[in-house]
Every structure is written in C-alpha cells, then in structure tokens.
Amino acid sequence: MDLVVLQNKLDNLSFAVLFVTMLIYWGGAAFPKIPFFSTLGTAGMAIANLCMACLLGARWLEGGYFPISNLYESLFFLAWGVTTIHLLAEWLSRSRLVGAATAPVAMGIAAFATLTLPAEMQASAPLVPALKSNWLMMHVSIMMLSYSALIVGSLLSMAFLVVTWGSPVELKGSSIGTGSFRIRKTTEKTTSVSGTALGTSSGATNTDQIEKGLGLGMQSTATAVLTQPMPMTAPVLSLKRLNLAESLDNMSYRMIGLGFPLLTVGIIAGAVWANEAWGAPWSWDPKETWALITWLVFAAYLHARITRGWQGRRPAYLATGGFCVVWICYLGVNLLGKGLHSYGWFF
C-alpha cells in the first residue's frame, strides 16, 4: 500500500477512535456503575496510540527522517505522547476518570492536525539544512514528551478542581506514600464529618479531629481540612469523592514530576544544538523565552509542593496556569510565525 494513502487512513482513524473514546469516558463519568465503559475507554486509547505510532512509523519510512519536523508531524507526536502518558497515569491511579480529562485534548489535537491544517502542511517534505542533525530527534522528541506529561499532569489538576468544586476541602501532608488521611475540624462553626459516611454535619465549638485509616494503595498520606468560614449548608465531600480527589492530586504531581526533568533535558539539548547551528546557546528567540517561562512555572509548582508542602487547590491553580503556558509555548508562538523555531501559518 502507498505510504501516503496509509497515513491518510491512519490519521482519520486516529481521530475517529479518539472521538469515540472521549464519548466512552464521558459516559463512564456520567454512569460510573456501568463497568464496560472503563474497559472500552482504555482499549480505545490503546488503539489510538497504536494507530498514531503506525502513522509516525510510515512517515519515517516515507521521509527517511524522524517524523517531527513540521507542525502536522509534531501534533501527532504530541497526541501520541498524551495517550501514552494517559495510559501510564491510568494504570498507576486505577481511575478511569483520567480519560474524561485527557481524551478530549488528544482528540482535539488529532482533529486540528487532520481537519484544519492545509494539505501542503500535511505533506512530507525534505528537511531544511538546519534540521539535518542528530539533535533533531533528541531535542524535539524530548520536548514533545515533556509537553505531553505536563499537559496530562495539568489536566489532572484541573480535574481535581472540578471534583472538589464548591467544597472547602484542602489536602495537606506528604505527597508520596501510603497510609491514611485525616479530616480535621479546626475552628468554631466548621462542619464536622462522620468517620464512615462523611455525610452528616453539625456545629463544633472545640478543636477536634476525626481520623480514619484507609488502604489507598498509590494514594498519598494527606489531611483534608474543612476550612473556615464554611456555611452549615456547604456540601461535604463523600469518602469516595475525597479519595478520588486525593488520587488526582497525587497523580498530577507525579506526571508533572515526570515532565519537568524531560523539559529541563530538552532545553539543555536545544541550547547545545543552537550553539552548534547558530553559534550561540541562547538568543532569546520567542520559543526559547516561552520555554523558559514554562520551566519557571512548573519549577514553582514543584518547589511549592516539595519545600512548602502545598497540596490541593493552590498547586492545582498553578498547574492550570501552566497548562495555558505550555500551549502558548508550543502552538501560540509557532502559529504567529515569529522567530527561528516557528512553523509559520497565520503570518
């Protein structure tokens, strides 16, 4: 079969599978008691991942170089990376809610590459002289994998905010480990939570604390604090939902912890390549500047979690901002056609 025809079939198939998978994950989130949703969702992500891997492989055979030299190829590499990191996060967290956040993003990336980019941008072309280097594979692939991990980690933080929306619960404690969490009433007029159902509330005038040991597997040891002030009618998270929120918070930390070292290595590799190609390791090109901003945002996230003990909402807000910064760094700068790293399309 013609490799170009095969690529066209695979990119459309990838988009279609991801679209159906997104609907499956959303159905599983809406109807959690239906068991086959979770199995179908994981299978769909795996099939889409395989389709995109085959697409990139066919592209490699056709062009004779690692397929990450233009916007179309990098978008599918990013989508492949997101699905790969998704499967890792889902396996570690044992939660199918991960797909409800990651599947729409992977589908959107595939849709943008397949349906929006003009045909000339999708076609394979010979490498320009500046890209004929072994650094292309190392620098760009590592950067794209770091973007994938940071995007998934940020999406999990956003899912944490959705799960805990309207509740004053904050997680505090160690980000790594197993054990129990505690639900503490710290001040007057806070809502108490029963040790079993977490569904009844009453006023309290003295500081007291309810502890309940839970086998949380990969979950973190944390303290859920019902903050002051809180109206007596404010919703209280159920035990299951609190467990899910803790899992999302912990898994977000792990994925960002994976993406940040990759981003660091990618930036260093890019500096070495730039010194070899342009005679200077850093030129404050817009892409380089936004890569540095991205690094600083997630460095602040990890610093706050490791040294300041932040968990819950505050780092989740920081990761949500990081999600936007990653997209500006990767796509926004490129589509404006500015600088040495741009693919150029709008201008």
What's the predicted TM-score (pTM) here?
A: 0.80
Query: Of the ranges 80-84, 265-269, 312-316, which one carries the lowest mean pLDDT score?
Result: 312-316
What pLDDT is stored for residue 109 in this prediction? 95
The average pLDDT across 60-81 equals 88
pLDDT for res 226: 45
In percent, how much of the chain has pLDDT > 90?
Answer: 36
Least confident of 99-103, 233-237, 261-265: 233-237
Bigger pLDDT: 128 or 299? 299
Q: What is the pLDDT of residue 189?
A: 40
How much is the pLDDT for 13? 94
The residue ranking higher by pLDDT, 221 or 32, is: 32
Least reliable range by pLDDT among 72-86, 118-132, 287-301: 118-132
Long-range contacts of the stretch 298-306 (C-beta < 8 A, 24+)? 298/150, 298/256, 298/259, 298/260, 298/263, 298/322, 299/260, 301/256, 302/256, 302/257, 302/260, 305/175, 305/253, 306/175
The domain defined by 1-124 carries CATH number 1.20.120: yes
Mean pLDDT across the stretch 191-212? 37
Rounded to the nearest integer, the mean pLDDT of the chain is 78
> What are 256-273's pLDDT values in tens digits?
999 999 999 999 998 898
